[in-house]
Amino acid sequence: MSKPVITAFDWVPWFAKGLVRDLRVRWALEEVGQAYDVRYLPQGSQKAPSHRALQPFGQVPTYEQDGLTLFESGAIVQHIAETYGGLLPRDAGGRARAIEWMFAALNTVEPPITDYAIATLFEGEEPWSRPRLPAVIARISERLDELSRRLGENEWLDGSFSAGDLLMIAVLRQLKGTSLEGAHDNLAAYVARGEARPAFQRALASQMAGFTAPPPPEYAFLDQPPTRQGESR
């Protein structure tokens, strides 16, 4: 097989660096030892017809290899895990449970965390954001409580490190710098274990090195974090 090609941004706002979803794909590829190339997109070009032909929603990442084109980071990670060894258990039951945790990360844990980002960053100045924030935080806290209880003192969610852990840790990392980070010692340690993996370190360094473009003029104010971040990040 040829090397896969993924897409990523050449610039993002300060609060997105290290969190853009191509990191999940890079991490999976690093875990399985598969080299890859990156095609960088300037901000705005993800909405162009040429990119929408690959990703109908105008987002990143995409994944191309030997005539196969995929979008959605979770689907790409699952494809990598099923194509190369190391991210899914060999036995059918273990494989099914790892995939179960992949879906749990993206469908159960991530949605309220995304709501938090919308309420504090993307729509933080809108009049409806602050009133809804307590309910959003309550939903995240409930999910973190449930996940913490399930993880307990285990190193990973179900036996060895899997694609389920990769996606769950990627989702939990979105809470960095918020009042919700570190609410559970075992989850903080879980995220730290994931971030300490050499494959994650390589993936993160690769993503950060790709942010080489200056910000578009209209987004220049988002190139650096504000001096006082308040409730948001």
The 10s digit of each residue's pLDDT in 99-121 is 999 999 999 999 999 999 999 88
Q: Is 4 left (phi over 0), alpha (psi -120 to 50) or beta?
A: beta
Q: Are strands 5-9 and 62-65 parallel, antiparallel or unpaired?
A: antiparallel
Of residues 129 and 199, more confidence is placed in: 199
Peptide bond into 61 cis (omega under 30): yes
Q: What is the pLDDT of residue 230?
A: 44
Angstrom distance (rounded) from CA 123 to CA 105 = 24
Domain positions in the chain are 5-86+201-218, 92-197
Contacts of 85 (CB under 8 A, 6+ apart): 32
Is the pTM for the entire model greater than 0.85? Answer: yes
The pair of three-digit structure tokens given for residue 91, joined into one six-digit string: 């036995």
Average of per-residue pLDDT across 34-52? 97
Predicted pLDDT of residue 145 = 98
9-24: per-residue pLDDT in tens? 999 999 999 999 999 9
Measure CA 56 to chain center: 19
> What confidence score (pLDDT) does residue 227 get?
67
Give tens-digit pLDDT for 119-175: 988 788 888 888 989 999 999 999 999 999 999 999 999 999 999 999 999 999 999
Q: Which two three-digit tokens encode residue 72?
A: 């959605």
Instruction: Quote the percentage of the chain above a pLDDT of 70.
Output: 97
Give the whole-angstrom CA distance, residue 89 versus residue 98: 8
* Average pLDDT of the residues in 197-214: 98
Residue bearing the bigger pLDDT, 165 or 177:
165
Q: For residue 79, with 0-12 CB atoms within 10 Å meaning exposed, 13-18 middle and 19 or more buried, which class applies?
A: middle
- Name every residue whose Cβ is closer than 8 Å to that of residue 215 and which is 6 or more positions away in sequence: 11, 13, 43, 222, 223
Q: Is residue 163 exposed (0-12), middle (13-18) or buried (19+ Cβ within 10 Å)?
A: buried
What does the block give as tokens for 132? 């809804």
Averaged confidence pLDDT in the chain = 94
Question: What is the C-alpha to C-alpha distance for residues 47 and 41, in angstroms, rounded to an integer?
Answer: 10
Instruction: Write down the pLDDT at residue 232.
Output: 42
Query: What are the start-end ranges of the H helices in the chain?
Result: 22-32, 49-52, 73-83, 92-103, 110-117, 129-151, 163-172, 185-196, 198-209
Same fold, 5-86+201-218 and 92-197: no
What one-character-per-residue DSSP string does 143-185 give?
Answer: HHHHHHHHHTT-SSSSSS--HHHHHHHHHHGGGTTSTTTTSSH
Across the range 167-184, mean pLDDT stands at: 94
> Which top CATH class is 5-86+201-218?
alpha beta
What's the confidence (pLDDT) of residue 121? 81
**Which residues make Cβ contacts (< 8 Å) with residue 30, sequence separation at least 6?**
198, 199, 200, 202, 203
Is domain 92-197 classified as CATH 1.20.1050.10?
yes
